[in-house]
Amino acid sequence: MIKRLLKRCLPGVLACFLIFCGFACRETSTGVQKEDGVTIVFKHGKIPGDAEHFRQLLHQFEKENPDIRVVSEALPSSTDEQHQFYVINLDANSADFDVLSMDVIWVPEFARAGWLRDLSSLLPEAERRDIFPGPLKAVTANGRVFAIPWYIDAGLLYYRKDLLDGIGARPPATWGQLVRLAGKITKNSEGIYGFIWQGKQYEGLVCNVLEYLWSHGGDVLEDGKVVLNSPENIAALTLMRDLIAKYRVSPPLVTTLVEESSRHIFGNGRAVFMRNWPYAWNIFQRDGSPVKGRIAVAPLPAAPGKSSASTLGGWQIGVNRNSRHPRAAERFVRFITSPKSQKILALTIGYKPTRRSLYRDPDLVRHQPFITGLHDIFMNARPRPVSPYYMMMTQVLQPEFSAVISGIKTPAEALASADRQIRHVLGDER
């Protein structure tokens, strides 16, 4: 009984401790305290690279809405930690923040729990038609919109165009081609890795693994049934482990990498290929970047005869149901997700718009010519398993996938274990 009580109370104690110790980094967009009007608190993940452009955007909102002050509070980069923070606070009916950014997989969970305000009025039907179908589906429940899509993500293959041009090679279409090209280039290059990706035990690892499963013809769920323990999935996980242990084109340190750490390695010119999200492109093109003008992007490879697959990612903006200033919060959401704001964030930070019309915008196409090619990738990006129990599923998948790439379990052992556990979670006892 005591053990169960501690287990239930510990997350709340941890949350209080983290908040007390500066879990969130609080700042106003202007740095100046306002005496009049209302204050809304905006929770979001860490802004990649230089956050000054983001602060300027918040300042612009305050100029246009002088009765509202925005306090920006950055949460840790880890999506798992962000999710835990939200669940603890929203479940406790906290009103300490008004606006929150959410991973694409969280909105259905938060909406079902009754933690979000209905924002249907902020997204008229004409605007809904301009949004990519994946994010729009993720924020909609029973015909009501509970968050506004902010930016979209999908896994991409970044590569050193100069190094591939040097050997007369095109970007790889299959995983086998990637292995051969990475091996050929690194064989004659000191201090450069062949292929880096996000292999730490967290949600990003699941995103990576799914791209291998799908591109081998495998999956996690099919018509609501668990199909993890399959030859296709075994082949996919075997390849991921072989990238490290057999082919040695991926270093063992990939098991510790997240998005930003892998971006730093590739951005310092120390890798031929990298799997990451679109945001990294802008950072690589800044003045002083060791890889400026030397990189390109392509769809992720696939197994022979199979199709490339990218995991749908991205973030959405919602309003806390317990917000003390819901109208001010909604005005801010409308502003920060508007086409104008999405264009600014695309040009300055690299967040890719959820509004399809912006992929024909002359300014965006001129400054980021590769963006036109992202449209089809985003249209075809695949969501993570759609289930009300997804967060329980990913907690099963993360350690099993991590055990494979770390060499602790064989792919067959890990998949059999994950299959059994998830069937129990879903009540799919066969």
- In the chain, the percentage of residues whose pLDDT exceeds 90 is 77
pLDDT, residue 386, reads 77
- Give the model confidence (pLDDT) of 328-372 as tens digits: 999 999 999 999 999 999 999 889 999 999 999 999 999 988 888
pLDDT, residue 300, reads 97
pLDDT, residue 399, reads 98
pLDDT, residue 190, reads 84
Is the pLDDT assigned to residue 17 strictly greater than 90? no
Chain mean pLDDT for the chain: 90
Q: Report pTM.
A: 0.79
Mean pLDDT on 87-103: 97
Is the pLDDT assigned to residue 2 strictly greater than 90? no
pLDDT, residue 33, reads 42
pLDDT, residue 67, reads 97
Where are the CATH 3.40.190.10 domain residues in the chain? 10-153+313-380, 156-309+387-425
pLDDT, residue 429, reads 57
pLDDT, residue 99, reads 98
What distance in Å separates the CA atoms of residue 251 and residue 22, rounded to the nearest whole number? 34
**Per-residue pLDDT band at 172 (split at 50, 70, 90):** very high
Query: Ranked by mean pLDDT, which of 35-49, 65-79, 313-327 comes out on top?
Result: 313-327
Query: Ranked by mean pLDDT, which of 12-16, 44-48, 326-330, 423-427 comes out on top?
Result: 326-330
Inter-helix orientation angle 203-214/231-245, to 10°: 120
**CATH T-level topology, domain 156-309+387-425:** D-Maltodextrin-Binding Protein; domain 2 (3.40.190)
Mean pLDDT on 55-68: 97
Is the pLDDT assigned to residue 31 strictly greater than 70? no
What distance in Å separates the CA atoms of residue 268 and residue 55, rounded to the nearest whole number? 26
Is the pLDDT assigned to residue 23 strictly greater than 70? no
pLDDT, residue 20, reads 37
Is the pLDDT assigned to residue 75 strictly greater than 50? yes
Mean pLDDT on 216-242: 96
Mean pLDDT on 132-161: 94
Mean pLDDT on 158-187: 97
- Give the model confidence (pLDDT) of 297-318 as tens digits: 999 999 999 999 999 999 999 9
Is the pLDDT assigned to residue 47 strictly greater than 80? yes
pLDDT, residue 22, reads 40
3-state per-residue secondary structure call for the chain: CHHHHHHHHHHHHHHHHHHHCCCCEEEECCCCCCCCCEEEEEEECCCCCCCHHHHHHHHHHHHHCCCEEEEEEECCCCHHHHHHHHHHHHHCCCCCCCEEEEECCCHHHHHHCCCECCCHHHCCHHHHCCECHHHHHHCEECCEECCEEEEEEECEEEEEHHHHHHCCCCCCCEHHHHHHHHHHHHHCCCCCEEEECCCCCCHHHHHHHHHHHHCCCCCCEECCEECCCCHHHHHHHHHHHHHHHCCCCCCHHHHHCCHHHHHHHHHCCCEEEEEECCCHHHHHCCCCCCCCCCEEEECCCECCCCCCCCEEEEEEEEEECCCCCHHHHHHHHHHHCCHHHHHHHHHHCCCEECEHHHHHCHHHHHHCCCHHHHHHHHHHCECCCCCCCHHHHHHHHHHHHHHHHCCCCCHHHHHHHHHHHHHHHHCCCC
What distance in Å separates the CA atoms of residue 116 and residue 417, rounded to the nearest whole number? 35
pLDDT, residue 258, reads 94
**Per-residue pLDDT band at 80 (split at 50, 70, 90):** confident
| CATH superfamily name and code, 10-153+313-380 | Periplasmic binding protein-like II (3.40.190.10)
What distance in Å separates the CA atoms of residue 151 and residue 315, rounded to the nearest whole number? 6
Mean pLDDT on 92-116: 94
**Per-residue pLDDT band at 388 (split at 50, 70, 90):** confident
Is the pLDDT assigned to residue 24 strictly greater than 50? no
- In the chain, the percentage of residues whose pLDDT exceeds 70 is 91
